[in-house]
Amino acid sequence: MSKRRLMFLGPPGAGKGTQAQRLADDLGIPQISTGDMLREARRKGSELGRKAGEFMDAGELVPDSVVIGIVKERLEEADAQNGFILDGFPRTVAQAEALAAMGVELEGVVNIRVSQAEVLRRLGGRLTCPGCGASYHEEFSPPNVAGICDKCGGELVRRPDDQPDAIRQRLESYQAKTAPLIAFYDRLGSLIDVDGEGAPSLVETRIREAVD
């Protein structure tokens, strides 16, 4: 497999995190997500980590300048020297340009395409237990008794951000921010479109074939 400096794109519910982790494990390279990077930088107590922590504690978005600096630090670590998979970064064209300015050239940007109807089906069916935190899905992994947690017997609920209107808003936000990013990487010739519908194992096969 030739492409080892990769990035995954996809709307909420596309399964990009799962697929990125599967491919990263198979290739023996790290999956690097924005959230993981921010938490790790904060744990290590670096200057950028401390700055990120201040914004996170205030419930504010971490500015691009801080995120980009943390990404640079993370990509310089030993385990990323033979490759990596970025998940959740870059999110905007400005971040993509900053990544390129670091000298980081992505060999493939995997864009997992999933229809709005499929996203609504996947996210709209999610259920969680407020008591123990267990997760279920009405279609894919239902509880033994409808509406009741298998583990603690608590009543299952649907998170506010998994309500249909909230999901549509999340999709609109994703499209507004990411459509220019998709076009950016398409112009560079590094975009790899993959059909994200179907069983996870089928999508995994498609990704493997696309990046091979």
Provide the annotated active-site residues. Answer: 16, 91, 126, 159, 170
CA distance 95 to 70: 12
CA dist., res. 94 & res. 102, Å (int): 13
Q: How far is CA 68 from the centre of its chain?
A: 17
Strands 135-137 and 84-87 come out as unpaired
Q: H or E element: which one contains 31?
A: strand 31-33
User: Would strands 126-128 and 135-137 be described as parallel, antiparallel, or unpaired?
Assistant: antiparallel
State how far the alpha carbon of 173 is from the alpha carbons of 88, 140, 169, in Å: 14, 26, 6
